[in-house]
Amino acid sequence: MNKLRIAVQKSGRLNEDSMRILKDIGISIDNGKDQLKAAARDFPVEVFYLRNGDIPQYLQDGVVDAAIIGENVLIEKGNNIEFVERLGFSKCKVSIAVPKESKASSLKDLACKRIATSYPETVKKFLTAQNIEANLHIINGSVEIAPNIGLADGICDIVSSGSTLFKNGLKEIEVLLKSEAVLAVSPEISAERKAIL
Ligand code: PRP
């Protein structure tokens, strides 16, 4: 039987709420620990547990038909993947932050400065739109430490509660975008699977 293949985040902030939302709509999944794929018992759905950053490409290639993913990841990966529904959880911002004693008060003030980020494409888009040049340092995690170790003058990262910024002596100076979990759909989805979706 044709099954709808849905990707969810394997681990991280979206995982728990993604599984809860599937359960809430009546899809029960047998998932052993470390299993990367599981079928629903009562509905033609297979769930793939994937790394967040890989999901847009899997959607693009039609390897999965749909995904529960942060809108910010779709924007960063820039594959023009559409989403059909906002899911109302994992709300966050992608923001610019600087050490709290810094005089910078907007992205503009970081012109020609060093910005550490895991969201280079998003930052580039905003820099280009404002005709600003800056030096980007791409790092994959613990971005908030970068100013403290002398690696950067500012950062661009996800802000949720704001506690990571606070604990690292940083302040938010500009919100680039707001994001939440969305239900994204592959451009390659077949009519039959779209009907299941
Ligand atoms: C994200 C992000 C920040 C943190 C912000 O990291 O990179 O570090 O959350 O959240 P807060 O404003 O509530 O403190 P996450 O813990 O999701 O893991 P990551 O380092 O793998 O991105």
Cα torsion 160, 73, 48, 39: sign: positive
pLDDT value of residue 80: 81
Instruction: Of 176, 186, 143, give the one whose Cα is nearest residue 72.
Output: 176
Atom of ligand 1 nearest to the CA of 167: 14
Give the tokens for residue 87: 């899911």
- Asked whether 161 and 144 are in contact (CB, 8 A), the reply is no
pLDDT of residue 34: 72
Token pair 């403290």: residue: 148
Task: Tell me the torsion sign for CA atoms 66, 67, 68, 71.
Answer: negative
What is the model's pLDDT at position 192?
95
CA within 13 Å, CB half, 139:
19
pLDDT of residue 32: 64
Tell which residue, 171, 120, 124, has the closest CA to residue 144. Answer: 171
Q: Identify the structural domains of the chain with CATH numbers, from first to last.
A: 4-90+180-196 (3.40.190.10), 92-179 (3.40.190.10)
pTM of structure: 0.91
Please tell me the distance from the alpha carbon of residue 21 to that of residue 75, in angstroms, as a whole number.
Answer: 23
170-185 residue pLDDT tens: 999 999 999 999 999 9
In 3-state terms, what secondary structure has residue 165?
Answer: helix
- Using the mean position of ligand 1's atoms as its centre, give its distance from the Cα of residue 158 in Å: 6
Low-confidence ranges of the chain (pLDDT < 50): none
> Is the CB of 62 inside a 6 Å radius of any atom of ligand 1?
no
**Which percentage of the chain shows pLDDT scores above 70?**
98
Q: Is the CB of 97 under 6 A from ligand 1?
A: no
Q: Which two tokens stand for residue 135?
A: 């030096």
Distance of CA 113 to CAs 98, 163, 187, Å?
11, 25, 38
What local confidence, expressed as pLDDT, does residue 78 receive? 77
pLDDT at 77: 92
